[in-house]
Structure 1
């Protein structure tokens, strides 16, 4: 398909990007030993994007024939004529991205559907036998693989296939005051066989989850108000993405994000360096991989905040030209029918050199938050997130487990309060972003010590 796309793009006579795009999902859900869902879905098609008169025209069709390519190109060109942008300059030439990046295990035997079901039955039976006091036990598996072939009139030619597995285990039991639940997300970059072949390792993770749940059932509620806390990597990674990353996307900067007028200013502690990275992140271990974006731009690493100072934003080719920056490959689309938007890739706080024990030891009265759940942030940088797993800190030592709570604040204020940054970068296996289109992302970070507003009973 790639040679066909490249020939059409080169012959178009205008600034053009052609993309063939297929998404495939395998999903399973089991509750209390009953298989509720076991399905596979695939969608594919082609899209054309044309730049003319200062504006992009976009068109997509659920077809990949030569005739469909021609029709999509014509419609995209017609759509570009509908909304010309007066005074806009032609897009500056960009370095074309090239390469084949197929991360599927094409030479390995795959689990059959029956084997996946048998694995679920084995895990569920083991959980039920070992922990009969559980009220519910849920297993959920999702494999998502995105395949793309992209060619542009500027010479970009690239193909990618990036699979990721998320295996959720959710457990609940009855405490004295009601039902208490907790979940763990396992998996990450790769295919089902990469993450679910070792049953003993999965059961060990489930044992640890049950131990956390048992402590949580006997745990305490947080004291509401500003508190000194340690945010483990899971929480720090989500904050980096939601509360900071979105404010630094150039389309949202142009829409009035708080980051817009703070370029070159100190917005965080000197200990904070936060970036958005191509490939699989700075350590090569993220749950997501991207090398060329959906405009054909090679994915370069971008340090948004360097030693506390806001340095740059994330761009597509258009906003980079408008704001005098260099595009680094942040234009991404979720499906063939989606136009590329400015999106994050692998966003994280870079590690420091402060051990976790030192962070905990520096807090007389506070909390250690280990896992975040749902939350929200806006263009002012204000955030609120749920926390469903943590421990008290009293006199520099870990105490009782915690019940569900919330943390909130303003991202740049919170980052200015950071006094410790841990040495270990960890990635969430299951990062998704919902900005207009859902899309896979990498979220990560080390543990950090800071000050946030903590809720009481959630």
Structure 2
């Protein structure tokens, strides 16, 4: 451990002890040091190129069964002590208004340090090389001519270091980084517009772009946008569909995963009271995982110092577990899972997903299509929305009609909608081609990096198109 780390850890232990002397039942402090680069190019013009760095601490105090939280943009001792006092004051002020006293589930106390690994850390890359990467991707998209009406390329990287100390003796240090490239284009012709989008990234270094991956990404986006200009709209209705890894990942995360977060289960959602029940096809197993190490939601320890573990939410169609914080685990009489996460030191941790995906089956993806008499093959996403009842609607980037096991004409402007449980119950084929690597940033009052995916599957879903 570096000298500066030792000094900060010692300081945090002193502040925690002061918090207990001031009357707290429990105290934890999370110091974070964040630094990052963002570059945004729009139609050949670099509209933003920024570097930002900040450091601060978030402090939680538990008093009279009530949480208080305070954050400061420094790690100086006097400021931390003032933040402890502010956190205590907030806890005492809110205690009379709480319906339920906060209790924390027991968890093993760890002292550990974990570091992400990369061949080329983004902090070691000259900013000019990052600009060159963005400019080359942009130039490649625009090389397709005036048929490309709009395009943008966004590069970002973040380095982070967290130091967590609690009054129970926990002492966890995590160092890591994330690197992303997002590419979007809109093709237009004869009054028709066709969008396309791709993103790569995660807990990876600049080696992410080896083999001119940024150029391949730009070509994929531009050619898809142009190709789909000639596509028509499909006939809408309930259909048999084959979903690709990315679209399945979105449905698993947005339409289903949130409903398995224990705080939402406690407040009431579609999974409340269904533990142990069959809620999906027996071919379906869904997990939320702190790994793999390269995934965008990599979380070796959560922001309560809990060592994160894999949560088997659905096992062969049966609801088995929820994602938990220490507080929700105590309420439900379950174990913490390492899912308490905060956007950064300015926020208190809440229950969040990490890397959520469906486990693979034994079908080859090509076999699933070949064994489908009639339906659609749906690929990629364009965002959408879902609610606590599992109702969803998402945009699809590419679609093809399937007839007698063969892909026929493509379609554009496709949406899918339905209820997550109904869709999961209809799954009758699961591919062996598990893919995790579709990075996103999930919102739930605060933002968190997440990832997910799965294999190809076949199910029934409502396809939106022409009437």
Q: Shorter-normalised TM-score: what interval?
A: over 0.9
Name the counterpart of 1:93: 106
Does residue 73 of the first structure (1) align with residue 84 of the second (2)?
yes
Return the offset for 1:89: 6.9
Return the offset for 1:104: 6.3
Name the counterpart of 1:228: 240
Return the offset for 1:78: 1.9
Return the offset for 1:68: 1.5
8 A contact 1:94–1:154 mirrored in 2: no
2:192 paired residue among 174, 178, 182: 178
**Secondary structure of residue in 1 paired with 2:272:** helix
- Deviation digits for residues 182-220 of structure 1 (CA, Å, limit 9, x no counterpart): 1211233223x2223542x33233333333233211212
**Secondary structure of residue in 2 paired with 1:83:** helix
User: How does 1:97-116 map onto structure 2 within 5 Å?
Assistant: 97-103=110-116, 110-116=124-130
**Secondary structure of residue in 1 paired with 2:225:** helix
1:203 paired residue among 197, 206, 215: 215
Return the offset for 1:135: 2.7
Return the offset for 1:397: 0.9
Distance 1:74 1:257 in 2: 36
**Comparing 299-308 and 356-365, the one that deviates more:** 356-365
8 A contact 2:153–2:181 mirrored in 1: yes
Distance 1:385 1:356 in 2: 22
Does residue 9 of the first structure (1) align with residue 11 of the second (2)?
no
8 A contact 1:30–1:138 mirrored in 2: yes
Distance 1:244 1:342 in 2: 15
2:410 paired residue among 401, 420, 423: 401
The alignment's TM-score, normalised by the length of structure 1, stands at: 0.93
Distance 1:377 1:391 in 2: 24
Distance 1:268 1:92 in 2: 30
Q: Mark the CA change 1:457 to 1:71 in structure 2 (over 3 Å): closer, same or farther.
A: farther
1:328 paired residue among 337, 356, 372: 337
8 A contact 1:164–1:288 mirrored in 2: no
Q: Mark the CA change 1:104 to 1:70 in structure 2 (over 3 Å): closer, same or farther.
A: farther
- Deviation digits for residues 139-176 of structure 1 (CA, Å, limit 9, x no counterpart): 11122334311111112111123322221222232234
Return the offset for 1:132: 5.9
**Secondary structure of residue in 2 paired with 1:222:** coil
Name the counterpart of 1:125: 139
Q: Mark the CA change 1:106 to 1:49 in structure 2 (over 3 Å): closer, same or farther.
A: farther
- Deviation digits for residues 346-387 of structure 1 (CA, Å, limit 9, x no counterpart): 111111111111211232221111111211111111111111
Distance 2:232 2:308 in 1: 45
Name the counterpart of 1:50: 61
**Aligned alpha-carbon RMSD (Å):** 2.2
Distance 1:159 1:258 in 2: 37
Name the counterpart of 1:145: 159
Return the offset for 1:457: 4.8
8 A contact 1:348–1:445 mirrored in 2: yes
User: How does 1:438-449 map onto structure 2 within 5 Å?
Assistant: 438-449=447-458
8 A contact 1:143–1:164 mirrored in 2: yes
The alignment's TM-score, normalised by the length of structure 2, stands at: 0.91
Structure 2 stretches lacking a partner, 5+ long: 1-7
- Deviation digits for residues 418-455 of structure 1 (CA, Å, limit 9, x no counterpart): 01111122124421110000111122211111000111
1:258 paired residue among 237, 256, 270: 270
Structure 1 stretches lacking a partner, 5+ long: none
**Secondary structure of residue in 2 paired with 1:203:** helix
Does residue 161 of the first structure (1) align with residue 168 of the second (2)?
no
User: How does 1:374-393 map onto structure 2 within 5 Å?
Assistant: 374-393=383-402
Distance 2:309 2:178 in 1: 22
**Secondary structure of residue in 1 paired with 2:271:** helix
Q: Mark the CA change 1:217 to 1:190 in structure 2 (over 3 Å): closer, same or farther.
A: same
Q: Mark the CA change 1:8 to 1:265 in structure 2 (over 3 Å): closer, same or farther.
A: same
**Secondary structure of residue in 2 paired with 1:258:** coil
- Deviation digits for residues 298-334 of structure 1 (CA, Å, limit 9, x no counterpart): 1011101110001121111111111110001111110
